[in-house]
């Protein structure tokens, strides 16, 4: 009945995609193209007026429960039946049990009116620019439009302000007129940028949530044509050889996603030290040691002593015998610390916000990175969000190698390039690059052996993707089997 009613409500529109999501998949999402914009339309279960009044009473009962902090989704149904008996509303609770459970979970344990967006694994980002504005989302599969307006709105500044404060509290931090701008991470790992009131924005409170579901593997990225099997094989070899890799791209281009996919290729007996301002990385690796910088909350000499800087954490990481150092979202002097880690022989990976390779290289010069430091840089991966006929996609558009020639000059070579016209990558055949030749020398391989390994790994990746086997377990099992048989 709900689906039929929902269909009638939007039958004059062009539906691109429709599916169920939310708690127990009780919400229906329809993505609509009205000719000039995309709309993400949410239809949630309906309640009668009497049931709505009962819902508010039940919320109050549950919030006053002494064990509210231990409450879990699986306990809600039993608690509702118990509340129905206490309140003398057993029949009404049983009649509307599924829908009441939905809204109690949504509003008490979940994220209220945007809970559907948080639970929808196809939603990548949620943005609210001010009161009275539709909540907007970026969708993983519907990419004809960068942003889709939803039918969800925070009507007033008071409502939105209270919600921003709630988000901060959910993450264990605070936001106030004294400190109206905050970045924090929700318990699920989603990253939030929030502004409170009109102190720092003209439109009032706002927030953006970048969702971080289970990170995709390098095989997933190949399946999505973000890069080719040969490029994945090349980067895999560089990661294992503890090279210095910089991932460059504009905002929302997929830099962090690519970095996580590469870090999943680090050998299990290695130690990874990550340093971030706002926790964003999520690695399933036994040797992962995540560190977070801390800024002082007050402007005073005493408060300054509470600062935990990139330099502090790098020093600790080096003493902790980290073999890979990772800095996410380097914007300025943080990049020095990645170079310092590379200088002592550790593998270094970092993401850097820039639109082109030249912009990145010029920023390095402005930051004072000298020629001796630049010589430590192995390769630069440029990734972008590009508009194709089938929507917006993420592509590695170039991979550059840096090396020092015999005269001491830094040379830059483009070793892989994306062809927009064909939506393919070149070269398609293995080639021996300067960096691969250097790695072969370090590992005691011949040039033929490193080229053979490059080709073999690419074939494993291509075969697994064709078979739709995209787990790391599949990848490592196939590669280990080949090592054992060789």
Check if the beta carbon of residue 178 is closer than 8 Å to that of residue 168.
Answer: no
First and final C-alpha spacing in the chain: 61
* Beta strands 288-292; 272-276: pairing state: parallel
Range of the domain at 392: 218-485
For residue 244, what is the domain's CATH number? 3.40.50.300
pLDDT tens series, the chain, 486 aa? 444 444 444 555 688 899 999 999 999 999 999 878 899 999 999 999 999 999 999 988 888 877 777 788 888 999 899 888 988 999 999 999 999 999 999 999 999 999 999 999 899 999 999 999 999 999 988 888 889 999 999 999 999 999 999 999 999 889 999 889 999 989 888 889 999 999 888 999 999 999 877 788 999 999 999 999 999 999 999 999 999 999 999 988 999 999 999 999 999 899 999 988 877 788 888 899 998 888 776 666 776 777 888 888 888 887 878 889 998 877 777 788 788 888 887 888 999 999 999 999 888 888 888 877 888 899 999 999 998 988 889 999 999 999 888 888 888 999 999 999 999 999 999 999 999 999 999 999 999 999 999 999 999 999 999 998 988 999 999 988 766 555
For residue 185, is it within any domain?
A: no
Tokens of 150: 């939803």
Report the length, in residues, of the chain.
486
Q: How many domains does the chain have?
A: 2
**Residue-wise pLDDT tens digits, 127-174:** 999 999 999 999 988 888 889 999 999 999 999 999 999 999 999 889
198, part of any domain: no
In a domain, 279, yes or no: yes
pLDDT at res. 303: 63
pTM of the model: 0.71
User: What does the alpha-carbon distance between residue 306 and residue 297 come to, in Å, rounded to a whole number?
Assistant: 9
Asked if residue 188 is part of any domain, the answer here is no
Question: Do residues 293 and 266 lie in contact, with contact meaning Cβ atoms separated by under 8 Å?
Answer: no
User: How many Cα atoms are found within 13 Å in the side-chain-facing hemisphere of 308?
Assistant: 12
> What CA–CA distance (Å, rounded) separates 284 from 291?
15
- Find out whether 258 and 381 touch, Cβ atoms under 8 Å: yes
Residue 211 within any structural domain of the chain: no
One domain for residues 223 and 147: no
Q: What pLDDT score does 482 carry? A: 62
What pLDDT does residue 4 have? 47
Residue 234 lies in a domain: yes
Separation between Cα atoms, residue 240 and residue 450, nearest integer Å: 13
* Same-domain check for residues 133 and 233: no
Same domain, 71 and 145: yes
Same domain, 395 and 471: yes
Domain-terminating residue out of 115, 133, 155: 155
Same structural domain, 281 and 150: no
| Interatomic CA distance for residues 332 and 354, integer angstroms | 12
Q: Do 281 and 140 share a structural domain?
A: no
Question: Is 276 inside a domain boundary?
Answer: yes
In a domain, 463, yes or no: yes
Helix, strand, coil percentages (3-state) for the chain, rounded to 5, are: 40, 25, 35
Q: pLDDT digits over 23-63, tens only?
A: 999 999 999 998 788 999 999 999 999 999 999 999 888 88
pLDDT score at 163? 97
At residue 235, the 3 state secondary structure works out as: helix
- Alpha-carbon span 474 to 29, nearest angstrom: 34
Half-sphere CA count of 393, side-chain side, radius 13 A: 18
Which of 155, 175, 199 finishes a domain? 155
- The pLDDT value recorded for residue 21 is 94
**pLDDT at residue 327 in the model:** 87
Cα gap 112→356, rounded to integer Å: 40
324 and 228, same structural domain? yes
Does residue 102 sit in the same domain as residue 222?
Answer: no
DSSP designation for 294? B
Residue 241: both structure tokens together: 């050889």
Tell me how far apart the alpha carbons of residues 447 and 10 are, in angstroms, rounded to a whole number: 62
Contacts for 88 with CB less than 8 Å, ≥ 6 apart:
none
Where is the domain boundary, 121, 138, 155? Answer: 155
What six digits make up the tokens of 153?
Answer: 């709105």
CATH code where residue 60 lies: 3.30.450.380
CA distance linking residue 421 with residue 350, whole number of Å = 30
């Amino acid at each position: 009945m709900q689906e039929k009613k929902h269909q009638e409500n939007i039958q004059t529109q062009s539906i691109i995609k429709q599916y169920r999501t939310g708690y127990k998949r009780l919400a229906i999402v329809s993505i609509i193209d009205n000719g000039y914009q995309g709309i993400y339309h949410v239809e949630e279960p309906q309640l009668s007026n009497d049931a709505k009044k009962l819902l508010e009473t039940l919320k109050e009962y549950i919030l006053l429960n002494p064990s509210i902090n231990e409450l879990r989704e699986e306990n809600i149904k039993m608690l509702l039946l118990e509340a129905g008996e206490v309140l003398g509303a057993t029949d009404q609770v049983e009649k509307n049990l599924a829908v009441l459970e939905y809204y109690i979970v949504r509003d008490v344990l979940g994220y209220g009116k945007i809970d559907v967006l948080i639970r929808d694994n196809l939603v990548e980002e949620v943005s609210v620019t001010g009161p009275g504005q539709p909540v907007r989302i970026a969708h993983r599969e519907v990419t004809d439009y960068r942003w889709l307006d939803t039918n969800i709105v925070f009507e007033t500044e008071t409502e939105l302000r209270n919600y921003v404060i709630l988000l901060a509290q959910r993450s264990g931090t605070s936001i106030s007129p004294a400190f109206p701008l905050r970045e924090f991470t929700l318990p699920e790992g989603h990253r939030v940028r929030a502004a409170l009131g009109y102190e720092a924005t003209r439109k009032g409170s706002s927030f953006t949530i970048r969702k971080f579901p289970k990170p995709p593997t390098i095989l997933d990225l190949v399946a999505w044509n973000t890069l080719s099997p040969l490029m994945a094989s090349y980067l895999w070899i560089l990661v294992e050889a503890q090279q210095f890799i910089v991932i460059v791209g504009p905002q929302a281009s997929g830099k962090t996603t690519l970095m996580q996919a590469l870090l999943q290729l680090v050998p299990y007996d290695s130690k990874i030290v990550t340093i971030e301002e706002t926790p964003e990385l999520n690695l399933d690796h036994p040797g992962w040691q995540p560190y977070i910088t801390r800024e002082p909350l007050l402007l005073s000499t005493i408060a300054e002593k509470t600062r935990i800087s990139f330099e502090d954490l790098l020093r600790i990481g080096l003493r902790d015998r980290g073999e890979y150092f990772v800095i996410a979202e380097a914007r300025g002097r943080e990049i020095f610390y990645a170079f310092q880690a590379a200088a002592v022989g550790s593998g270094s990976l970092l993401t850097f916000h820039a639109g082109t390779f030249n912009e990145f290289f010029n920023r390095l010069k402005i930051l004072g990175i000298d020629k001796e430091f630049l010589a430590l840089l192995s390769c630069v991966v440029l990734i972008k969000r590009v508009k194709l006929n089938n929507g917006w996609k993420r592509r590695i558009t170039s991979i550059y190698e840096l090396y020092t020639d015999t005269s001491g000059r830094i040379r830059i070579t483009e070793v892989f390039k994306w062809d927009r016209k064909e939506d393919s990558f070149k070269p398609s055949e293995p080639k021996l690059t300067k960096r691969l030749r250097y790695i072969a020398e370090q590992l005691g391989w011949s040039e033929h052996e490193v080229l053979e390994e490059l080709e073999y790994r690419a074939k494993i990746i291509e075969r697994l993707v064709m078979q739709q086997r995209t787990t790391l377990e599949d990848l490592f099992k196939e590669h280990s089997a080949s090592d054992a048989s060789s």
